Structure 1
Amino acid sequence: MPTETDDLVHHLAYAAANTTFETLAPEAIDAAKKSILDTLGVILAASGVEPAVRAAIDLVREGGGTPEASLLAFGGRVPAIAAAFANGALAHCLDYDDQTPWGQHASSSIIPAVFAVAERKGGVTGQDLIAAVATGQDLFARLRCNVGWRKDWNLSTVVGVFAATAAAGRVLGLSASQLAHALGIASMQSSGVMEVVAGTGSDLRGMYAGFSARGAVTAVLLAEKGTTGVDTLFEGEYGILKTYFGGVYDREKILEGLGTDYLGSGTLYKKWPAVGTAHSHIHATIELLKENHLTADDLSEIRVFVGDYHDLMCRPLEARRTPTTLVDAKFSLPFLVAVGAVHGTVKIAHFSSESLKDTSVLAVAQKIVPISDASLDWTLELPPGRVEIVTRDGRRYEKTGTGVPGNDDAPLSWSDLAEKFIDCAAVAVVRHSDDSLDEVVDSIKKLESLEDATVVLGILSPAASNSCSPEYETSSQTTSPKTGARL
């Protein structure tokens, strides 16, 4: 057991290696299972509607190798490292994956990594998989909450690779010492600047979880083979905490309740496929129009009050009002608020190449005016956005976006997540029967009773799907194999 003077890497590794199903509170078990269902659903949806991931799928298929783990949605088996990369790229690219109450995304790195390792190893029980996911979610939350983030590094990848490594190492059955080494190896993949998130015109913002998932699997497999890490990884003179966060962190809080209180129990699940930091503005806009019996045509202006992070979604303003890629559209506050105003909701169907040309949405996006408000700056918990609408006849209405569907004051239930999973599967590259989708939901609800947790992936494999969809083609294709819609 680590001593008080040991680097955090040893404390985190020890907790991960010694987490069992029995150590978890019911809320942590529930969150782990919900995240598994939610992430698998988002992966399915991404396969059919996001062209940005096609290069990743093509690349891992071209590489070949030992068929160890499933290439989800598209079918076939590839080496575990490659599967983690491809499935991770799918898991975040719609910005529909879960998040912590303080923002950032853990499960899109964790779930692809744990399944890749579980398939490679074989015979991983549902209880062990739940314990692995819960320990990864806990590590992610502890680091997310207790470091001095300056919004320069992308925390989802910088921290996500360590969370996924802890989870994958737990699946593999690594000792605490081996897991500490694995976390050190994972530091070689701890990277990603915020420009990748905030910049426009790139696919990388959508694909980033693939890199952290791949790095995690690489790390645990190397550690298993004897590669060693660094004893002072987090707190050393040139360690993670000084390099990324200027040495600003709360060690006591990171360690508080470690191994007994699993913070993943607070995980939030999205109702809408868009960056979570825009949801409060979307919700306020939808509610204002509904409460006052207005339509988008009644509006002359929509003023969105923004803090420092909200502002990233508004600059450059004209590019945000008319995004040219689906990845950018999901990070554009003007476009997302306009979608909510026009459609009264935000759905996967609102993000296609044709949707980016929707004149009704684009017209409303031109009416979005960001107003700086420093009280909405992001410190730990992002304050809810505020919206003021001005009608053509001069009336004004204002609302703060509280009670957002999927947030902690309006959480999604198992029923909500099952409905989301089925909706996601409906746009997948391969069609699945209603019975098979129901079986996946039921299997994950009772995951702790399964002797082999990876059976849920078998249910979703194209060979088991009764699909009549055509064979997946390369990224040069211009239509969706399922819908025929232009990609």
Structure 2
Amino acid sequence: MDHQDLSFHLARHVARTRFEDLPQGAVDAAKKSVLDLLGVSLAASGTIPAIKGVMEFVRAHGGSPHCGVLGFEDRLPPAMAAFANGAMAHCLDYDDVAPDGNHASSSLIPAVLAVAEFKGGVSGKQLITAVALGQDIFLRLRRSLHQRLDWLVTTVLGVFSATAAVSYVLASGEDKIAHSLGIATLGSSGTLEMRFGTGSDLGELYAGFVAKNAVMAGMLAAAGITGVQKVFEGQAGIMPVYFGNDYDRSKVLDGLGEDFYGRAMQYKPWPVCGIANTYIHAVLQVVREKRIHPGDIVAIRPFVGDFQQRMCKPLNERRRPGGAMDARFSLPFCLAVAAVYGDVKVEHFGTASLADPAVLAMTDKVTPIDDSAFDWVGAMPEARVEIDLNHGETVVATSEGTPGSASNPLGWDDLVGKFHHCASLAANPKPPATLVKVTDMLSELEGLDDATKLMRLICEPSNLR
């Protein structure tokens, strides 16, 4: 029996992987994820109030101006840049998502971009490989666990996948990669109370903490700092302490280096909690097909499983979210927005929409129905919604064909359109010609000799254009 801790297997995997080892699906997904994340981060820079506090913090703790900050013209040390860009990455809940939930990229990509810009000379192929490795490692660790409603595994496990990717960019050897994972244990934290609770900015900003910790772990290990040796499976490792040893190590190791799970990443059509997309699609589909107007609707009944129930209870509180992130995690509010506006956009979660009498009146018509058939076990569950109309008809809608799902994925052109809309909302919007150069550069990322050119282009000060 193999007695090596999982961390050593993962370190060996990272040290030995090259771009040529990646299947085309993993390459395509990595490029899509970078494009998607840059766009949603730019949108967050200009629409999320909490980013003002983040920027005040990083400016007060700045240092050598190595790395760009999306949506702003600041340049910061790598850890602070990773924190700022990571803080924006998940703000809108618009970043990519795994088929079984959780967000691999929102901490991974900001960390990788910061270290690549700091190091310089990191090729597009190396950047793609780092992202593909991080996505694969995250999904392997995530899928080794049963579905849980306690730890926020995006942060608890995401720090390890992001650290592994950072160490790849730094070209650390196998030993130092293993040490970086050991150091990353100090950044492995976070519970789902960040999502289930209300009134906090942390549900928006958490990826920044993970990205910063990943940069620190990778760079400290590269500088010779040693870390915990048995990261995951020691007597007080992550698996026994956090998860009671309720994991399947074969799901981490089987096919390692052959199958890269990031190929299955999904991209969101709407800026809400991933599982809400299926319900939104159901509502929008029937509203558009039957030309249902808001005044026609008497009641909306979404059928909800265990996780979705957290998005509905306490019902009165979920019907009146106090902030944008709470609104994105409120199923009644999301469905009300879809029914009233006939779409769901970033702009629909601003202050005006949160107080829109038409939307609030519609939230009062949303009554969830608990149904264990929609519990989240493995892949993200489907959705069912019933809508009562004022002439006595009840229409039934399902999530079949949800945009962004495995059966109806968003393509490159879809994501380019999403990027341009998001970039238009940035704190400091770039000219359309610059945005076209960015998307063109990303479409041919594997041919880029220095990935620093990407961040330089998108973060270039206005007076230099």
Q: Which residue of 2 aligns with 1:378?
A: 376
Task: Provide the alpha-carbon RMSD of the alignment.
Answer: 1.3
Equivalent in the alignment of 2:386: 388
CA distance in 1, matches of 2:447, 2:434: 19
List gaps (5 residues or longer) in structure 1: 468-487
Alignment partners' CA distance in 1, 2:17 and 2:196: 36
Q: Partners in 1 of 2:291 and 2:436 — Cα distance?
A: 38
Partner of 2:368: helix, strand, or coil? strand
Q: What whole-Å deviation, never above 9, does each CA across 1:94-153 have from its counterpart, x for those lacking one?
A: 000001111110110111000111111111111111110000000011011121342100
Partner of 1:107: 105
Aligned residue pairs total 465
Equivalent residue runs for 1:78-477 within 5 Å: 78-464=76-462
Whether the 8 Å CA contact 2:117–2:455 is kept in 1: the answer is: no
CA distance 1:188–1:352, shift in 2 (3 Å): same
How far apart are residue 466 of structure 1 and its match? 7.4
Whole-angstrom CA distance in 1 between matches of 2:99 and 2:401: 13
Per-residue deviation, residues 345-395 of structure 1 (Å, max 9, x unmatched): 111111111111111111111100011001111121121121001112221
Structure 1 counterpart of 2:18: 20
Q: Distance in 1 between matches of 2:195 and 2:145?
A: 19
Q: Call closer, same or farther: CA 1:465–1:289 in 2, change over 3 Å.
A: farther
Cα deviation, residue 343, structure 1 = 1.5
Distance in 2, matches of 1:362 and 1:170, equals 48
Code of the aligned partner of 1:176: E
Q: Identify the residue that residue 473 of structure 1 maps to in structure 2.
A: none
The answer to whether the 8 Å contact 1:148/1:246 transfers is no
Deviations 1:258-293 (A, max 9, x none): 112110000001111111111111111111222323
DSSP-derived class of the 1:389 partner: strand
Which of 63, 67, 74 is equivalent to 1:76?
A: 74
Question: What per-residue deviation string (whole Å, max 9, x for no partner) do you get for residues 132-181 of structure 1?
Answer: 00000000110111213421000110111111101111000011111111
Quote the offset at 1:328 in angstroms. 0.7
Q: Which runs of 5+ in 2 are unaligned?
A: none
Tell me the SS of whatever aligns to 2:230: coil
Question: Residue 481 of structure 1 aligns with which residue?
Answer: none
Q: Would the alpha carbon gap of residues 292 and 452 (structure 1) be closer, same or farther in structure 2, given more than 3 Å must change?
A: same
Cα separation, 2, equivalents of 1:83 and 1:348: 24
Structure 1, residues 301-350: CA drift from partner, whole Å, max 9, x if none?
00011001001111121121111101111111000001111122111111
For residues 299 and 348 of structure 1, the distance between their equivalents in structure 2, rounded to whole angstroms, comes to 24
Verify the 8 A CA contact 1:432 1:465 in the aligned structure 2: no
Task: Return the letter of the residue paired with 2:372.
Answer: A
Structure 1 position 462, deviation (Å): 4.4
Cα distance in 1 for partners of 2:62, 2:401 equals: 47
| SS of equivalent to 1:58 | helix
The answer on whether the counterparts of 1:458 and 1:464 sit within 8 Å (CA) in structure 2 is no
Letter in 1 for 2:304: V
Distance in 2 (alpha carbons) for counterparts of 1:148 and 1:384: 19
Residues 231-283 of structure 1: CA deviation (Å, up to 9, x unaligned): 21111121111122211111112101111211000000111111111111111
- Residue 47 of structure 2 aligns with an amino acid whose one-letter code is V
> What do the CA deviations read for 1:404-457 (whole angstroms, capped 9, x no partner)?
111111100100000000000111111211111011001011111111012111
Distance (Å, rounded) in 1 between the aligned partners of 2:44 and 2:161: 23
8 Å CA contact retained: 2:71, 2:429? no
Paired AA for residue 236 in structure 1: G
The 8 Å contact of residues 110 and 213 in structure 1, kept in 2 or not, is answered as yes
CA distance change for structure 1 residues 465 and 156 in 2, over 3 Å: closer, same or farther?
Answer: farther
| Secondary structure in 2 matching 1:369 | coil
Q: Which residue of 2 aligns with 1:66?
A: 64
- The answer to whether the Cα contact below 8 Å between 2:43 and 2:426 also exists between their aligned partners in 1 is yes
Alpha-carbon distance in structure 2 between the residues aligned to 1:28 and 1:370: 38
TM-score normalized with structure 2 length: 0.98
**Counterpart-to-counterpart distance in 2, 1:280 and 1:145:** 22
Q: Is the 2:82–2:212 Cα contact (8 Å) retained in structure 1?
A: yes
Partner Cα distance (1:135, 1:355) in 2: 39
User: Which 4+ residue blocks in structure 1 deviate beyond 2 angstroms?
Assistant: 290-293, 464-467
